[in-house]
Structures are given as C-alpha cells and as structure tokens.
Structure 1
Amino acid sequence: MRWRASISLTVGDGGPVSSIVESDHGSEGSAREWIERKLPRTRFPAWIPAARRRDGVELFGRVARGRIVPDQLIPTWEPEAAPVWHADRAGDQVQWRRCAADDR
C-alpha cells in the first residue's frame, strides 16, 4: 500500500485536471507533509499565461491511497476506491478536506 501525493492544475469547475508533480510515500502522514511543504511554493507552469490564471485555473494538492501495478511495460498507479485528502492553498498554509475518491 502506498500514498500518492500530487499537485495538480484544474481549469474552472468541472474542467480538465492535469497532474504537474507526484510523489509516492509509505504513509499518509508523509504524503500530507510533502503537500504542505510543496503546495504553497508551487508556481503555475510557464505555459499558462498570466491572463489565463484569472480564468479559474487553480493549483491544488491531493493525497490518495493505492498501489503500483508492475505488470505492464511502465508500472502504473492504481488508486483505491477510498476517500482522498484534497488540499487548497491559503497563502503560505494548506487547507485540507476529505473528499470522495472520484472528486478533485
């Protein structure tokens, strides 16, 4: 069992989501600490113009439980159907909330 911490980007409510950085951890606490260190300092990718950032483009963190499936040419992440932690930036802090597995 692993916990995957990811920092992702979303465009508007219900818009596409793209992970920009991920890190796997042996515990939920370690994954949440990684998000708390990285998310407040994360900057938008250079390919997103400043004008677009005002159009509902958001950075957020997520911690999900799952496993690495090595049966393929490239090992893949298989999340569990369990609640996840969702993290929003609030200045230099992170605000956490528990969400259903399929929520962003």
Structure 2
Amino acid sequence: MFDTDGAWMEQPQDGWPGKVTKAGDEHLTVEYLMFRQTFRRDNGRASEAFRRQWIETAETAGHNARRSAAAATLRKHGIRLDTGHRLTLERLEQVAALASTPTSS
C-alpha cells in the first residue's frame, strides 16, 4: 500500500505490506498496519481519502522502483525523458548504465 504523503509518514520504499481481506467485483478491501481501506480493482486507487493511496503487487512495486532508479540516474546526467516515452524497463536501465559509464579523455 502506498500513500502520496508516504515520505513524511515513514513509508518504506516498497510500500507498507497489506493483505486483501475481501474481494468484490469492483473493490478490494486491504488491511495494512492497523488500518482497513477499500480500493478500486480497475486502477488500485483508494475509494476514499481523496485517492491519495493506492495498492500495487510486490512485482509491480519492484518494477516501478527499478524504473524510478534508472530515470533518476539519467536525470543526474542531465538526460530527461518525455512523458509517454516508449522505452522498456530493460532499455531504460541499459541507457542509464551507459550514462554512468566513465569516459576517457
């Protein structure tokens, strides 16, 4: 489970672990920490709380963390990605690795 304001709430980088306790056609109920929240199945966003919370599978969270790390590496080297770019995660990581490779003068 992730929260937009997670950084100041000491949210772990890979989110808080949660457990689906109820699954319906349109919603999932997830228990995490000492809370219970309902999320939409179609987009993983909270039904309440101004949609500032969302859920992801561990696999998706890991994928997103890798993508963010590669993009941060590129930004560090002055490379910006356009919104909607079509680089796969693997290609993005390859470009980030190339950008980090020292060059000889």
Q: What TM-score results when the alignment is normalised by the length of structure 2?
A: 0.21
Q: Which has the higher contact order (CA 8 A, sep 6+)?
A: 1
Structure with bigger gyration radius: 2
Which structure carries more helix by proportion? 2
